[in-house]
Structure 1
Amino acid sequence: MEIVFTVLIQLLAVGLSGICARMLPFKLPLPLIQIAIGSALAWPGFGLHVTFNPELFMLLFIPPLLFADGWRIPKREFFMQRRAILMLALGLVFMTVLAVGYFVHLMVPAIPLPVAFALAAVLSPTDAVALSGVAGKGAIPGHLMHILEGEALMNDASGLVALKFATAAALTGVFSLRDASVSFVIIAAGGLAVGSAIGWLAIAVPARVMKLAQDDDPAAGVIMTLLVPFAAYLFAEHAGCSGILAAVAAGMMMNYQSLRSSVPTVVRIRLTSTWGMIEFVFNGVIFMLLGLQLPHIIGTAVLRAHAEGNGHVWLLLGYVTAVMTALHALRFAWVWLLRWLASRRAAKKGLPNAVPGLRTVTVMTLGGVRGAVTLAGILSLPVALSDGQPLPGRDLAIFIASGTILMSLLVGVVGLPLVLRGIRRGPDLFAAEERQARLDAAQAAIRALEGEHERLTAGLDEAGAARVANSFARVMDTYRRQVDLVADEQTLRDAVRQNEIVETDLRMTALRAQRDGLLKLRRSQKINDETHSKLLREVDLSEAAIVARKRNREPAAYS
């Protein structure tokens, strides 16, 4: 019963956090609000105690979130930026483990070198979800955000693999760079292969089954999709491979396969809404858990420091600040070096390319915020050595990691808006692409309608042909307006857009009246619940399509 109560309170708190974010008179990132609420719930009077199990946390939360990120991330941009992503996700991670690990050990000798390497390993992964919450949607230029998202997808695996080897070295005192390198390649390649195979099966098999089935209820397919990230993670971990990379690969493969296989519209709509809710709830619970753990983590570190007589609260905060400074300095230097090398390669090929700009490098540096994987990784450190002695420096490492998560969020909240203010944005590379795609799709529909009109009117008498012509004109008018909306003439576009606004308002008014009418019919018992639900769903889908079309046609707002 206590577990049920805790889960319900967590879900309620996640929902309230979203409401608070909209009601606050000033803008505060949702992750920070959720951490604050979690810390408040940790007050002893509430009796809300959550025992953090890192293995359970990694299984329940990380696979579905990374699966959703892998499904959603733009694949074309991911492969276009693969060089920068891999250099950040692999090269920067291992540089962070070495440099920050030695730095922590020299700064705090009480933390053994293997534990310092473990701390650096969990601090190396970044969190794209936390970054979106801090910076806001659309605030960071698209090409930079694609790199940051791709980096966050891939460096979770490299950071946790490095943590695995560092933990083994802390427990056994034995480490081999050659064995670790070979193991990393096998673990990563195996995880990608297992995830890709499961993602392919998850789409290919149901697609063939659905061709034989006449039932259009999407519930079964959606449930199967929800199980895919867990299946990929568990199979890969059982095979000794990276479960995290398996979840990412499964999401990317399912997205790729869905482009080749016909997915019913009702399944696609249900999947979008279901995964949107899962991402919001799971991300909220993760930051709530961080808030719940913070009082215990801070209290334990402070008591341990006083017991050992080697520090105060200010010294502990100094450790966090020093580690955060080292992480940012290393990241800044690495990103600047990558961009400098890219400009040199472009210059050798005769392509115009500027020297890396300070603003861009700073955005990439501040964009490396830490989040859920860092928390799960540091709390997974073993409590004791193989001989039963407590693991030296564990509590202090947990405090530094938790403080770094908070400080990276706060630095992002303050620094990113300042750096992004007044940033010069070049032409939107995807605006012309989107406009052309709308035009091509509308013209394809017009051509298909013209061919279908000729087929339907063949052999009809004058009255039948007139009825078909009326229907044809009503449908054709919709697609001709879409063509006019992307026309080259500004005056024509403005006139059509104004007409679209008026028509949208009229349609929304009519749909609201339909909804009210259906409700009155239901209250008066003139229709039953089944009929009411069926007709109401049609109205809701029509309204959702209008709202989505209206939102997509609004000009993007850049701060």
Structure 2
Amino acid sequence: METITIILLLLLAVILSGIFSRMVPLPLPRPLFQIALGALIGLAADWRVTLDPEIFFLLFLPPLLFLDGWRIPREDLFKDGKTIVELALGLVVVTVVGMGFFIHWMVPAMPLAVAFGLAAVVSPTDPIAVSAIAQRVSIPKRMMHILEGESLLNDASGLVCLRFAIAAALTGAFSIQDAALNFLWVAFAGIAIGSGFTWIVSRAKSWVSRHYGEEGGAQILISLLIPFGAYLIAEHLHCSGILAAVAAGLTMGFVETSGELEASTRIRRNTVWDMIQFTANGVIFVLLGEQLPAILASSAETVRATGHHEPWWLAIYVIAINFGLAGLRFLWVWASLHLTLFRKGDWHSTPNWRIVAAISFAGVRGAITLAGVLTLPLAMNDGSPFPARDLAIFLAMGVIIVSLLAASLGLPLLLKGLEMPAEHDHQAAEDAARVKAAEAAIAEIEKVQHALAEGRSDADIYVSTASRIMDGYRHRIDSRVGSPENNALGRQSEEIERRLRLAALKAERAQIFRMVRKRELDSEPARKLVRELDLLEARYTVVG
């Protein structure tokens, strides 16, 4: 009963965080409100959620990373692939080494291996936190795609470094050769498992649907189980379950292009996944905040472990680590952009420092850091307590909160009035696709109309009906073919039509509800009519 109550309380906190974030005029991301509400729960209630890192990873990360991989624009991901790999692999290794030595120098009470472990868990950026920041800060699309791609791929490299840091702390031994080979296995095998598993499941699902029909609920459930299956198989084979979940999402985007799924199932599935994303994202940060009081309660002992007596030293360490992370990230991004310009033959150009700073500030930490630091063992091989474990957890928690605050406050200032390099305009491709789709529709209507009307005495009804439908498609073609000025006028006309249709649909729905309240219409036909209107409204409110 208590577990159910805690779950309901966490969900209530997620709902309230959205309300509070909209009430506050400052551009603060929702995770900060969720952390604050979680901390209030931890202070006000006697409940304590014991976070088992393995369960935490399994419950939250596979579906969220799968969804991010599924929905990220694959073309943009591959277009900036070199930059993303440089950030996701090279920057992580540099951060682990550089910050590991820096943390050990700053806090001599923390052994070097533990300092490397802490540096490893704070090195990956978090796709969940990046998405949360983007909801309140207008980040340019290409920059957002680079940040999302980086955060999807750098988790494996950071967690592999953490694994070897823990092994070095427990055994006192470390092998670069073993670490490199293990990383290759963990990364590439994880990607292969995620992609292969998703492809096999999708082919099997398609075969069953073709031969025995499609069941919408089962299709949605299969999509929910795929990331967990890929993650568990990869972890069982000692590969990266995180990369397996990401690869499964990317593969899902490819196999979905077959278009075999029914439209109603696709709409319902998107709704289910939107709810899961909203709920899981929120619960992660509420749980993070709920852990704060327990961590702060042992702060006095944690301070003594550093050799100091004043608790404000912990704040100094957290800020210093954030400055170190931001500085390394700034230098790496600056060098990476220089290398990109050099490869393009543009030797004399210099990257805009505001763009570099914006990418540096956007490197926020989140759930991966929290779950990773909690995997630090409780005891050494001889049974003695693991050195500086509480201190590492406190510093990692502080890095998450400060990085969120810094990105929330710094990004709007850096991006204000910033002129970004021209991005590829998809409008022409979109117009061409609309024209080709309309031409295919007209050809199919003509074919079906002839087949239906052949030999019938009322064939003129079929002809007039088909003509009326085709006129709408011809209007779409006329508005998309011609000069750019005419195309712009056509899009403006469509926007006016969209607003008028939305107003009309809302009036229809209001009238139906009015008739139900007056008992002029029964509830069953009312539900059918409202669903039809809702689907039509969804058509006109989809944002690309």
TM-score, scaled to structure 2:
0.93
Secondary structure at the aligned position of 1:106 is classed as: helix
* Aligned mates of 1:418, 1:221 — CA distance in 2: 45
Contact 2:126 2:365 in 1 (8 A): yes
* Aligned mates of 1:509, 1:401 — CA distance in 2: 53
Alpha carbons of 1:300 and 1:262: their partners in 2 closer, same or farther (altered >3 Å)? same
Alpha carbons of 1:121 and 1:451: their partners in 2 closer, same or farther (altered >3 Å)? same
How does 1:389-538 map onto structure 2 within 5 Å? 389-425=384-420, 426=422, 429-461=425-457, 464-486=458-480, 488=484, 489=486, 490-491=488-489, 493-517=491-515, 519-520=516-517, 527=522, 529=524, 533-538=527-532
Secondary structure at the aligned position of 1:42 is classed as: helix
Determine whether 1:385 maps to 2:393.
no
* Match in the other structure for 2:210: 211
Contact 1:34 1:291 in 2 (8 A): yes
* Aligned mates of 1:274, 1:412 — CA distance in 2: 30
Determine whether 1:362 maps to 2:357.
yes
- Per-residue CA deviations over 1:289-326 (Å, capped at 9, x if unaligned) read 11011122223133331477524222111111111111
* Aligned mates of 1:147, 1:293 — CA distance in 2: 31
Contact 2:505 2:533 in 1 (8 A): no
Contact 1:135 1:413 in 2 (8 A): no
* Match in the other structure for 1:372: 367
Aligned match of 1:297 in 283, 295, 298?
295
Alpha carbons of 1:532 and 1:243: their partners in 2 closer, same or farther (altered >3 Å)? same
Contact 2:66 2:249 in 1 (8 A): yes
Q: How far 1:455 moved relative to its partner?
A: 4.8
* Match in the other structure for 1:90: 89
* Aligned mates of 1:49, 1:395 — CA distance in 2: 17
Contact 1:135 1:417 in 2 (8 A): no
Alpha carbons of 1:492 and 1:346: their partners in 2 closer, same or farther (altered >3 Å)? closer
Contact 2:305 2:388 in 1 (8 A): no
Q: How far 1:512 moved relative to its partner?
A: 3.5
Q: How far 1:255 moved relative to its partner?
A: 1.8
- Per-residue CA deviations over 1:502-553 (Å, capped at 9, x if unaligned) read 2332233224334544x459x67x7575x654454333222322322xx45x
Alpha carbons of 1:79 and 1:496: their partners in 2 closer, same or farther (altered >3 Å)? closer
Q: How far 1:432 moved relative to its partner?
A: 3.0
* Aligned mates of 2:472, 2:126 — CA distance in 1: 42
Secondary structure at the aligned position of 1:385 is classed as: coil
Q: How far 1:388 moved relative to its partner?
A: 1.3
Q: How far 1:477 moved relative to its partner?
A: 3.5
Cα RMSD (Å) of the superposition? 2.3
Q: How far 1:205 moved relative to its partner?
A: 0.7
Determine whether 1:28 maps to 2:28.
yes
* Aligned mates of 2:490, 2:68 — CA distance in 1: 39
- Per-residue CA deviations over 1:378-428 (Å, capped at 9, x if unaligned) read 111111111111111111111111111111001101110000000124366
* Aligned mates of 1:507, 1:470 — CA distance in 2: 26
Secondary structure at the aligned position of 1:132 is classed as: helix
* Match in the other structure for 2:344: 346
* Aligned mates of 1:514, 1:528 — CA distance in 2: 10
Determine whether 1:106 maps to 2:105.
yes
Contact 1:511 1:543 in 2 (8 A): no
Alpha carbons of 1:491 and 1:81: their partners in 2 closer, same or farther (altered >3 Å)? closer
Determine whether 1:12 maps to 2:8.
no
- Per-residue CA deviations over 1:310-359 (Å, capped at 9, x if unaligned) read 24222111111111111111111111111111111111xxx698322112
- Per-residue CA deviations over 1:47-90 (Å, capped at 9, x if unaligned) read 23211211110111111111111111111111111111111111
User: Partner letter of residue 277 of structure 1?
Assistant: M
Alpha carbons of 1:511 and 1:545: their partners in 2 closer, same or farther (altered >3 Å)? farther
* Aligned mates of 1:500, 1:187 — CA distance in 2: 50
Alpha carbons of 1:398 and 1:492: their partners in 2 closer, same or farther (altered >3 Å)? closer
* Match in the other structure for 1:316: 314
* Aligned mates of 1:222, 1:269 — CA distance in 2: 10
How does 1:134-283 map onto structure 2 within 5 Å? 134-136=133-135, 139-214=138-213, 216-260=214-258, 262-283=260-281
Contact 1:202 1:254 in 2 (8 A): no
Alpha carbons of 1:483 and 1:505: their partners in 2 closer, same or farther (altered >3 Å)? farther
Q: How far 1:249 moved relative to its partner?
A: 1.1
* Match in the other structure for 2:41: 41
* Aligned mates of 2:534, 2:448 — CA distance in 1: 29
Alpha carbons of 1:505 and 1:466: their partners in 2 closer, same or farther (altered >3 Å)? farther
Contact 1:126 1:151 in 2 (8 A): yes
Secondary structure at the aligned position of 1:109 is classed as: coil
* Aligned mates of 1:78, 1:40 — CA distance in 2: 39
Contact 1:194 1:232 in 2 (8 A): yes
Alpha carbons of 1:237 and 1:424: their partners in 2 closer, same or farther (altered >3 Å)? same
- Per-residue CA deviations over 1:238-285 (Å, capped at 9, x if unaligned) read 111111111111111122111135112122112111111101100100
* Match in the other structure for 2:285: 287
Contact 1:202 1:225 in 2 (8 A): no
Contact 2:333 2:356 in 1 (8 A): yes
* Aligned mates of 1:456, 1:39 — CA distance in 2: 66
Contact 2:498 2:540 in 1 (8 A): no
Contact 1:481 1:496 in 2 (8 A): no
* Aligned mates of 2:534, 2:82 — CA distance in 1: 44
* Aligned mates of 1:469, 1:540 — CA distance in 2: 30
Secondary structure at the aligned position of 1:7 is classed as: helix
Moved more, 275-284 or 80-89: 80-89
TM-score, scaled to structure 1:
0.91
Alpha carbons of 1:542 and 1:353: their partners in 2 closer, same or farther (altered >3 Å)? farther
User: Partner letter of residue 479 of structure 1?
Assistant: Y
* Aligned mates of 1:124, 1:290 — CA distance in 2: 18
* Aligned mates of 2:491, 2:267 — CA distance in 1: 30
Alpha carbons of 1:164 and 1:496: their partners in 2 closer, same or farther (altered >3 Å)? closer
* Match in the other structure for 1:74: 73
Q: How far 1:168 moved relative to its partner?
A: 0.9
* Aligned mates of 2:287, 2:139 — CA distance in 1: 28
* Match in the other structure for 1:555: none
Q: Which 5+ residue runs of structure 1 have no aligned equivalent?
A: 553-559
* Aligned mates of 2:117, 2:178 — CA distance in 1: 17
* Match in the other structure for 1:133: 132
Alpha carbons of 1:147 and 1:492: their partners in 2 closer, same or farther (altered >3 Å)? closer
Alpha carbons of 1:352 and 1:74: their partners in 2 closer, same or farther (altered >3 Å)? farther
Q: How many residues align?
A: 539
Moved more, 129-138 or 165-174: 129-138
